[in-house]
Structure 1
Amino acid sequence: MYRTVKDGVMCKLKTAERVGITSDTWTSVAKESYMSVTAHYIDELWNLVSYVLQTTEVQTDHRSVSLAEMLTKAMEEWGLLSKDPAIVTDNAANMIRAVEITGLTHVGCVAHIINLASQAGLKLLNVARLLGRVRHIAKFFHRSTTATRILKEKQKLNAHKLKIDVVTRWNSALEMLERFLEQQPAISAALLSPEDVVRALKPMKTATQVMSEEKCPTLSVIAPLHALLLKEMTSLPEDSRVVKDMKDELKKNLSTRYVNQKDMLYVASAIDPRFKALPFLNEEERDRTFSRLQTEAQDAAADEVDGVEEEVEPQPPAPKQFKQSSALESLLGEAYRPQQEVGPQKTKAAEAEDEIKRYRARRPAGLQDNPLIWWRENEKEYPLLARMAKRYLCVPGTSITSERVFSTAGDIITAKRSCLTPGHVNELLFLQKNLSIPE
C-alpha cells in the first residue's frame, strides 16, 4: 500500500512547477530522533496540494552537515531538486545552516519568530514577576480542593478553571492571563493588572492563528503581517512602563527578522492580489518590487521558450485545406483567399511590462478572498504573472505542517508501541497523511 501511494504522489509531484518544503526534527517517546519533510505545490486547477513525504530517523548527530545530507537525499529521492524548492524551517541555527549548505532558498517559520519575540517580551523582569504571581495563584487553586470549591461559589455560572502556563509556549502565558482576568472579581487578588500585557500580546496571537492556515497561501502574508506587528509594537504615550518596555523588546526582536529575505517576501506579496497595493512600502520600494517581479516573469518566459526550442525543432505550419465548394472558389480561391493577419510580435519584456501595468491598475482582491481562486479566474489575462504566482504562493510561511506530523506521530508511537521500527513509522505516517487524498 505504501509503495502504491508513494508512486502516485511522485507522479503528481512531477507536474509541479515549483515546490515549497517544510522540515523539522523531533524525538519520539522511544527516544528516537526523526526528521519530517513535507511538500506543497499549486496544481493546474490552482489548488494548494500538500503531502507528507517522509519521516526519517536521524541516525547521526544533529549537526548542520548531517541534516543537510538528509535534506539533499530526500530532495533527490522525490525528484524535487529540479523544482527550485524553497525550504521553510524553524530558526534553529543548525537547521538554518543546513539549508544554507544545500544552496536552496530558506524561509524562516513566522510562527516560530513570533514565539521567539513573544518569549523575549515575557522575560522582562516586571512581566516575569507578574506571570509568577498569577501562576502561583493558579497553582494554589489547582492544589486546594477547599479553595477551588469556594472559588466556584463566587464564580459566574459555567466559569472556566484557571490555567497554568507552559514555559515553551508563549501563548499559554497569554491564555493564563486571560483566564485570570475572567475570574479576577472572584479571586479578588491585589495584583498588578495583566490587562495591558494581554492587550500587547493579542496581535501576536492573532498573527499566529492567521499563519497556521494551510488551505490558503501564507508566504505572501509574511511581509504585511511583519510590518503590522512592528507598527503594533510601537509604544504609545499612554502605555505603562511595563507595557512600553515589553513592546520595545518585541519590536527590537522582530526588527532583526527577514532582513535578508525581504525582497523575496515583497515579491510574494505583490503577486498576491490581496496585497498587491503594498501599502506597507513607500512608492520607491513598490516600484522596485514590481520591477523585480517583471524581470523574473520575462526571464522565466524566455527560459521556457529556450527550453522548447532545444527539445522540439519548430516546424512550419501546415497549409490549411480549403474545400472547393464552388466554381468561383476553384477559379479565384488562391488570389482572394483571406490571409492571416500578422502583427508585430511583442518581446517578453514588453509583455511582462504590459501585464504588470494592467495588474497594478486593477482593484485589489478582498482580504477574505482566496488568491488561488483569483488567479484561476485571471490566469489567461496575466499568463506571465500567473506563472510567478504559482512559484511564490506554493511556499508556506510556516513549518507548522511538519510540526503537525509530530502530533500524529504521538498517536502512533505510544508507550505500548515504542518498538515500531523507523521504517514502519515512516510508512504509517505517510499513509495516514496521504492515503485519503482524493484523486
Structure 2
Amino acid sequence: MAPINTVNNEAFKEMIKTLDKRYEMPSRNYFSKVALPALYKQCREEIRKEIADLPFYATTTDLWSSRTMEPYMSLTIHYIDEDFEIKTRCLQTSFFPEDHTGEAIAQGLVEALASWDLQQERLVCITTDNGTNVVKAAALNQWTRLQCFGHRLHLAIDRKARTLIPTWQDTEVLESINQALQPLLEFTDALSSEKYVSISFVKPVLHLFSTSILKTTDDATTLTNTIKTKILTYLEEKYQDPETQELLDMASAVNPRFKMRYVNENRIAPIQARLISEMVAPANMEMGPTDPCGGTTGNAEDGPSGPKRRKTLGSFFKGSCGSTSPNQEQQTVASELQAYLQCASLDSENDPLDWWKEHGKLYPRVSKLAKKYLCIPATSSPSERVFSTGGNVVTCHRASLKPEHVDRLVFLAKNL
C-alpha cells in the first residue's frame, strides 16, 4: 500500500494528468481523514456481517514490534462458509502497550473477540507459537490451543541439529545435514498455507516423518541418521499430549482423504464415540424443547394468549409413537458416520472441501464437523503474515504513524 503523500508527488500528479486531464486529484487530508476511514468502516461492517453467525471458527495470534519498537498484537479468524470455502480474515493489529504477561494477553484476546461480537464458546481452537505467555493466555481463557507446526519443526531443527553443525570446510558433513533437513522445508511451506486445509495433515505428516522422511537408512551417513533421530524424537515428544492428539485425530477423521487411517488402533473407538456425541448434540439443539408427548412445542402465539388453531388430520398422528427417541437418533447418527467411514477415500491430491461440497448432503452431520475442525490452521503463519504487511506499512518513511492508523492500514491491506 503506497503512502498517502504519494498524491503530493509531482511525478504522480503528472501521470494522472496524462491519463485524464479532467481529473482533479483529492488532497492528502481527504484520503487520510475521509476516504480511508470511510473505506475502513465499510470493510469492517461487511466482515462483521460475514462472521456474525458463524457456528465454528478458529483463530491465530502473535505479538510483534514495529520499527519504532511499538508493540502490537494480531488476531486472524479462519472458518469454512456454507459453500465449503475456507476463509481468512485479519481482525486486528492492535497496539498492545501492556506488559506481555499471560494475564494481559488473555484479557486482550477476550476483548478482541468481544469487539467483533464473537462468542468464545464457538472458538474451536487458537493456533499460536510456543511463547510461554501466549500458552498461558490460552490456558487462562480455557481455549483449546494448537502449537504452530512450523515453529515446532524449526525448534526441533535448531535445538537438536545446531550442536552438530560443523565448520564450513567439512563439505561431506554439510552434505549430510542438507540431506536430512532439505525435505522438511517443503512440509513447512505446505502446512503454512491459508488457502486450503492444513490441520488434518499434521498427523499424516508426522507418520510420514517416522516411516520415511526421517527414518534412518543404511546408505546415509551416521551424522544424517543422528540428526533425523533427534528431530523425530523431539517432534514425537511434543505432540504426545492427549488433548493435541485428540484434536489432530478429529481433524484427520473428518478429512475424506485420511479418515481413521492415521488414528492409533486403541484410539479409534474413543474418537468415533466423540464424533457421534458431537453429531448428536447439534441435532438435539435444532429440534428444540419437546412436550411430554414427544412433539416439539409450538410458538408463543399458540399458547393461551394466542388464537386457538384448528387441528389438522396429521396432528393426530404426531404423538410419541411418531417422535424420534434418543436411541433412534443415536443409531441414525452412528449409521451416518459408518457410511462416511466406509465410502471410498478421496485421492490425496484432491481438495477435501470440494469433496464435502459435493457429498455434504449425504452426510449432513459429519459435514458440520468437517466445517468445525478443518478450518483450524496448522501454523500461526497467518498472524506472522499480518506483521509482514505491517512492516510494509510502518516503513522508515512512515515511522511516525499512530497505532490506530497502523491498524486501519493493515486491516485494509489484508482484507480488501
Pairwise mapping of residues 16-95 of structure 1 onto structure 2 (< 5 A)? 16-80=54-118, 81-95=120-134
Q: Mark the CA change 1:282 to 1:85 in structure 2 (over 3 Å): closer, same or farther.
A: closer
- Over 3 Å counting, the alpha-carbon distance change for 1:363 and 1:78 in structure 2 is same
Q: Does 1:400 align with 2:392?
A: no
Q: Distance between the aligned counterparts of 1:191 and 1:217, measured in 2?
A: 39
Which among 146, 164, 174 is matched to residue 107 of structure 1? Answer: 146
Query: For residue 32 of structure 2, what is the aligned residue in structure 1?
Result: none
Equivalent position to 1:247, from 219, 228, 243:
228
Q: Which residue of 1 aligns with 2:254?
A: 271
Q: Is 2:203 the partner of 1:223?
A: yes
Q: What pairs up with 1:183-198 in 2 under 5 angstroms?
A: 191-198=171-178
Tell me if structure 1 keeps the 8 A contact 2:61–2:76: yes
Distance 1:113 1:234 in 2: 19
8 Å Cα contact 1:235/1:244 also seen in 2: yes
Q: Match of 1:302?
A: 284
Question: CA 1:60–1:282 in structure 2 vs 1: closer, same or farther (change >3 Å)?
Answer: closer
Within 5 Å, which residues of 2 pair with 1:378-393? Answer: 378-393=359-374
Classify 1:275/1:89 alpha carbon distance in 2 versus 1 (closer, same or farther; 3 Å): same
Which stretch of the first structure deviates more once superposed, 288-297 or 408-417?
Answer: 288-297
CA contact (8 A) 2:80 2:371 kept: yes
CA distance in 2, matches of 1:51, 1:418: 25
Deviation at 1:111, TM superposition (A): 1.0
User: Secondary structure of the residue that 1:41 maps to in structure 2?
Assistant: strand
Q: Specify the alignment match of 1:15 in structure 2.
A: 53
**C-alpha contact (below 8 Å) 1:118/1:204 kept by paired residues:** no
Mapped to 1, the partners of 2:324 and 2:138 lie a distance apart of: 42
Is the CA contact 2:65–2:71 (under 8 Å) kept in the aligned structure 1? Answer: yes
Gaps of 5+ in 2: 1-38, 291-295, 303-308, 315-320
Partner of 2:168: 133
Deviations 1:189-220 (A, max 9, x none): x7324333222113311210210221111111
- Contact 1:219-1:396 within 8 A present in 2 as well: yes
* SS in structure 1 at match of 2:215: coil
Return closer, same or farther for 1:82/1:292 CA change in 2, 3 Å cut-off: closer
Q: Counterparts of 1:320 and 1:425 in 2: how far apart (Å)?
A: 65
- Equivalent of 1:288 in 252, 264, 270: 270
For residues 319-369 of structure 1, the C-alpha deviation after alignment (integer angstroms, 9 at most, x for no partner) is 599xxxxxxxxxxxxxxxxxxxx9784733112101111111101111111
User: Unaligned 5+ residue runs, structure 1?
Assistant: 135-189, 322-341
Deviation at 1:272, TM superposition (A): 0.5
Deviation at 1:227, TM superposition (A): 2.0
TM-score by length of 2: 0.80
Matches of 2:139 and 2:158, distance apart in 1: 26
SS in 2 for 1:408: helix
Report which of the two structures shows the higher radius of gyration computed on alpha carbons.
Answer: 1
Query: Following TM superposition, by how much is the alpha carbon of 1:83 offset from its aligned partner in structure 2, in angstroms?
Result: 2.2
What do the CA deviations read for 1:21-67 (whole angstroms, capped 9, x no partner)? Answer: 01001111111111000001111111111110000111111111111
What is aligned with 1:137?
A: none
CA distance in 2, matches of 1:311, 1:209: 54
Q: Which moved more, 1:38-47 or 1:227-236?
A: 227-236
* Distance change (3 Å), C-alpha of 1:72 and 1:320: same
SS of alignment partner, residue 60 of structure 1:
coil
Q: What is aligned with 2:24?
A: none
Tell me how far apart the structure 1 counterparts of residues 402 and 236 of structure 2 sit (CA, whole Å): 44
Question: How many residue pairs align between the two structures?
Answer: 356
**How far, CA to CA, are the matches of 2:289 and 2:131 in structure 1?**
39
Taking a change above 3 Å as real, the CA distance of residues 230 and 310 of structure 1, as seen in their structure-2 partners, is farther
SS class of match (2:376): coil
CA deviations on 1:264-293 (whole Å, 9 max, x unpaired) are: 1101100010111x3333433333322221
Q: What CA distance in whole angstroms lies between the structure 2 residues aligned with 1:250 and 1:4?
A: 48
Q: Give the deviation of 1:2 after TM superposition.
A: 1.2
CA contact (8 A) 1:124 1:246 kept: no
Deviations 1:392-432 (A, max 9, x none): 11111111011001111111101110010000000101111
SS in 2 for 1:123: helix
Contact 2:180/2:224, CA 8 A, preserved across alignment: yes
What RMSD, in angstroms, separates the aligned Cα atoms of the two structures?
2.5
Q: Deviations over 1:66-108 (max 9, x none)?
A: 1111111101111222423411101111111111111111111
CA contact (8 A) 1:24 1:399 kept: yes
Superposition deviation, residue 386 in structure 1: 0.9
Aligned partner letter, 2:189: Q
Q: Residues 246 and 59 (structure 1 numbering): CA distance in 2 closer, same or farther, change over 3 Å?
A: same
The whole-number CA distance in structure 2 between the counterparts of 1:380 and 1:368 is 23
SS state at 2:401 partner: coil
SS in 2 for 1:88: strand
- What amino acid maps onto 1:259 in structure 2? Q
